[in-house]
Amino acid sequence: MAFHPHLRREPSKRRAMILEDILAGLSYRQIMRKQLISFSVVSMQAGELYRQYGVKGPVALRRLLGGAMKVAE
């Protein structure tokens, strides 16, 4: 079966929570413990965020978005 994206799907709440934690300066392991999720989920979601914003890592993402900002829910 081929992949078909859900174009009108609401944004992932987990991704927004991970973005907020990355902007707060937390490491992947700290995010993993805080949200009770696996390291691979944090890594995968963070990678999608970096791709979405066109940056290479958490430092560049914080620089682009101006540090600790409140993510809209």
Q: What is the pLDDT of residues 1-58, one digit of tens each?
A: 566 667 777 778 999 999 999 999 999 999 999 999 999 999 999 999 999 999 999 9
- For the chain, the domain total comes to 1
Q: Is residue 5 part of a domain?
A: no
Q: Is residue 1 part of a domain?
A: no
Q: Tell me what pLDDT residue 73 has.
A: 41
Q: Is residue 4 part of a domain?
A: no
Q: Is residue 6 part of a domain?
A: no
CA 66 to chain CA mean position, Å: 15
pTM: 0.77
Q: Where residue 44 sits, what CATH number does that domain have?
A: 1.10.10.10
Q: Is residue 29 part of a domain?
A: yes
Q: Tell me what pLDDT residue 3 has.
A: 64
Q: Tell me what pLDDT residue 11 has.
A: 74
Q: Is residue 55 part of a domain?
A: yes
Q: Tell me what pLDDT residue 62 has.
A: 94
Helices assigned H by DSSP within 1-73: 13-23, 28-35, 39-53, 58-65
Q: Tell me what pLDDT residue 8 has.
A: 77
